């Protein structure tokens, strides 16, 4: 076990865990941040996506020891009250069905729009293709990302 000091959603946290523990389990089990979901455990579905220094990463395969002094943002930290432009667009376009993949989808879309404010449909598809949705709302997800791009993501 080792003590890790992490900056998550703008707050300081500490966890005494094995260095190889995936960030996903530290977030959920140690800090109670359960918005980030477990989907596959092999970085193939996107349900566990969080931001590390503003970039989308898969927390199920990211060992906590790899975080270092990086800043982690989870779905809980994207906005205080669900008013992030991507979250607003998700509701406007009525994307959610079961909702299980939504946190990962939203975090991936937010990272895309931060680095590419006005993406083409091809860029949206290329970025979002790694996020799986069992409900099949892909057309609505694409539309929501496009709508969010008109709202000015920061």
Give the Cα separation of 40 and 134 in Å (integer).
13
Distance of CA 99 to the CA centre of its chain: 13
Percent residues over pLDDT 90 in the chain: 94
Q: What is the mean pLDDT of the chain?
A: 96
CATH code of the domain covering residue 43: 3.10.20.30
Assigned domain for 154 exists:
no
Q: Do 116 and 50 belong to one domain? A: no
Domain end, chosen from 59, 76, 93, is at 76
Q: What is the CATH number of the domain that holds 105?
A: 1.10.150.120
Q: Note whether 70 and 105 are same-domain residues.
A: no
Q: How many domains does the chain fold into?
A: 2
> Where in 19-104 does DSSP place strands (E)?
49-52, 55-58, 71-73
Length of the chain: 154
Of 27, 46, 76, the domain-final residue: 76
pLDDT digits (tens, 9 = 90+) for 4-42: 999 999 999 999 999 999 999 999 999 999 999 999 999
| Angle, in degrees to the nearest 10, between helices 102-115 and 138-149 | 40
Burial class of residue 86 in the structure, from the number of CB atoms within 10 Å of its CB (0-12 exposed, 13-18 middle, 19+ buried): buried
Last residue of a domain, one of 18, 53, 76: 76
Q: How far is CA 102 from the centre of its chain?
A: 9
């Amino acid at each position: 076990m080792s003590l890790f000091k992490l900056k998550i959603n703008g707050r300081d946290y500490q966890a005494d865990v094995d260095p190889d523990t995936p960030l996903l389990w530290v977030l959920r089990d140690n800090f109670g941040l359960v918005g980030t979901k477990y989907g596959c455990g092999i970085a193939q579905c996107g349900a566990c996506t969080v931001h590390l220094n503003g970039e989308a990463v898969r927390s199920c395969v990211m060992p906590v020891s790899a975080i270092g002094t990086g800043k982690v943002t989870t779905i809980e930290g994207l906005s205080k009250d669900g008013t992030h432009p991507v979250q607003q667009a998700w509701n406007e376009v009525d994307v959610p069905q079961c909702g299980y993949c939504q946190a990962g989808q939203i975090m991936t879309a937010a990272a895309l729009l931060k680095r590419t404010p006005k993406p083409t449909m091809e860029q949206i598809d290329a970025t979002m293709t790694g996020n799986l949705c069992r409900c099949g709302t892909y057309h609505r997800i694409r539309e929501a990302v496009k709508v969010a791009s008109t709202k000015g993501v920061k």
